[in-house]
């Protein structure tokens, strides 16, 4: 057994700030990378590409290795369909699952109700406005309010509909933290170790310490970890503020 892989029977007493985005094309390359990690150091995110390629089996394999898994499938459908999907995710043992807040109050309430009595209830997270969208693109979809206002509005709707938190840009974290309280979960992508370096396709970025200080609960990081020469050293260097 790989000594870096925790015995799933051992209790987890850490709350690592980073969720590593496993943006790999298939299960083999994912598992080869994850072999270098350990559950005390990070959580893992599986998105649409990897889930479509490798599905439930891979998710369950990673959970069995002791990792908390964020199933990032951004559900957006009628209330019953999303509620049932969240229930299946809970049965799989995922730690966090997300949906589009644009699906509305009834959809989010149905999802919350579907997992409420689950022994290991996953955290339910809402996506407000995708951070890839510009103000002009949002307006084109029929939203007349400024983007920042729409994000605040949808995050408040998510909270009052029973969700545990939202995905947001780190630039929105401080205001959301202030408006929605200390227990609301804020998951922030767009994190880079060096804001001067190559930022890939991310535009509004922040370094980990800044994002955590602004109120982020969890940092979603893909390439800064997956392409690092020593991913474990990078993960160890990122700490929550004292
Ligand atoms: O490699 P990088 O750190 O940019 O990866 C960020 C991850 O977060 C990717 O999986 C991306 O799909 C996801 N994400 C994002 N922006 C959002 C929501 C999710 O970058 N608004």
Tell the residue nearest (CA) to atom 14 of ligand 1. Answer: 189
* pLDDT value at 86 more than 70: yes
Residue nearest to ligand 1 atom 6, measured at CA: 222
Ligand 1 atom 12: residue of nearest CA:
47
Split at pLDDT 50, 70, 90, the class of 158 is: very high
| For range 171-179, the mean pLDDT | 96
Q: What are 193-217's pLDDT values in tens digits?
A: 986 666 777 667 899 999 999 999 9
- Listed in sequence order, the residues at least 6 apart from 42 whose beta carbon sits closer than 8 Å to its beta carbon are 16, 18, 19, 20, 225, 235
Q: Is the CB of 151 under 6 A from ligand 1?
A: no
Contact criterion met (CB below 8 Å) for 210 and 238:
no
Predicted pLDDT at 205: 82
Residue with CA at minimum distance from ligand 1 atom 5: 222
Q: Identify the CATH homologous superfamily for domain 18-232.
A: Aldolase class I (3.20.20.70)
- For the chain, give the number of residues: 242
User: Which atom from ligand 1 is nearest to the alpha carbon of 169?
Assistant: 21
Q: Quick check: 54 and 30 in contact, CB under 8 A? A: yes
Which of 99, 167, 220 has most ligand 1 atoms within 8 Å of CB, for mutation?
220
Query: Domain extents for the chain?
Result: 18-232
Mean pLDDT of the chain: 92
- How much distance in Å is there from the Cα of 117 to the middle of ligand 1? 30
Q: How confident is the model at residue 2 (pLDDT cuts 50, 70, 90)?
A: very low
Please indicate whether residue 221, judged by its CB atom, sits closer than 6 Å to ligand 1.
Answer: yes
From the number of C-beta atoms within 10 Å of its C-beta (0-12, 13-18, 19+), residue 186 rates as: buried
* pLDDT at 13 exceeding the cut of 70: no
Report pLDDT digits (tens) over 14-67: 899 999 999 999 999 999 999 999 999 999 999 999 999 999 999 999 999 999
Is residue 74 annotated as part of the catalytic site, yes or no? yes
3-class DSSP assignment, residue 98: strand
Strands 165-167 and 123-127, by their bridges, are parallel
**Which pLDDT score, from 0 to 100, does residue 8 have?**
45
- Radius of gyration, CA atoms only, the chain: 17
Residue 164 phi, psi (nearest 5): -90, -20
Whether ligand 1 lies within 6 angstroms of the CB of 58 is answered as: no
CB of residue 206 inside a 6 A radius of ligand 1: no
Where would I find the H helices in 93-207? 105-115, 135-140, 147-160, 170-180
77 and 52 in contact (C-beta within 8 Å)? no
Q: Which residue has the CA at smallest separation from atom 21 of ligand 1?
A: 131
CA dihedral 102, 105, 106, 111 (to 10 degrees): 80
Q: Is the CB of 126 under 6 A from ligand 1?
A: no
Atom of ligand 1 nearest to the CA of 47: 10
**What local confidence, expressed as pLDDT, does residue 10 receive?**
44
Residue 240 confidence (pLDDT) above 50: yes
Give the pLDDT confidence score for residue 242 in this predicted structure: 80
């Amino acid at each position: 057994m790989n000594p870096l892989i925790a015995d799933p029977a051992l209790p987890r007493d850490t709350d690592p700030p980073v969720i590593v985005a496993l943006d790999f094309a298939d299960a083999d390359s994912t598992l080869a990378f994850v072999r270098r990690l350990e559950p005390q150091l990070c959580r893992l995110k599986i998105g649409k590409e990897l889930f479509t390629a490798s599905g439930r089996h891979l998710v369950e394999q990673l959970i069995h290795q002791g990792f908390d898994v964020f199933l990032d499938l951004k559900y957006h459908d009628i209330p019953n369909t999303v509620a049932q999907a969240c229930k299946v995710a809970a049965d799989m043992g995922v730690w966090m699952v997300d949906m589009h807040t644009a699906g509305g109050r009834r959809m989010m309430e149905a999802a919350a109700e579907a997992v409420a009595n689950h022994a290991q209830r996953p955290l339910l997270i809402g996506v407000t406005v995708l951070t890839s969208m510009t103000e002009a693109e949002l307006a084109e979809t029929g939203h007349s309010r400024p983007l920042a206002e729409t994000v605040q509005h949808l995050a408040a709707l998510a909270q009052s509909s029973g969700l545990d938190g939202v995905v947001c840009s780190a630039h929105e974290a401080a205001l959301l933290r202030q408006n929605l309280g200390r227990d609301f979960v804020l998951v922030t992508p767009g994190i880079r170790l060096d804001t001067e370096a190559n930022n890939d396709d991310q535009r509004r970025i922040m370094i980990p310490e800044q994002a955590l200080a602004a109120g982020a609960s969890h940092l979603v990081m893909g390439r800064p970890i997956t392409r690092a020469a020593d991913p474990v050293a990078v993960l160890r260097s990122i700490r929550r503020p004292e």
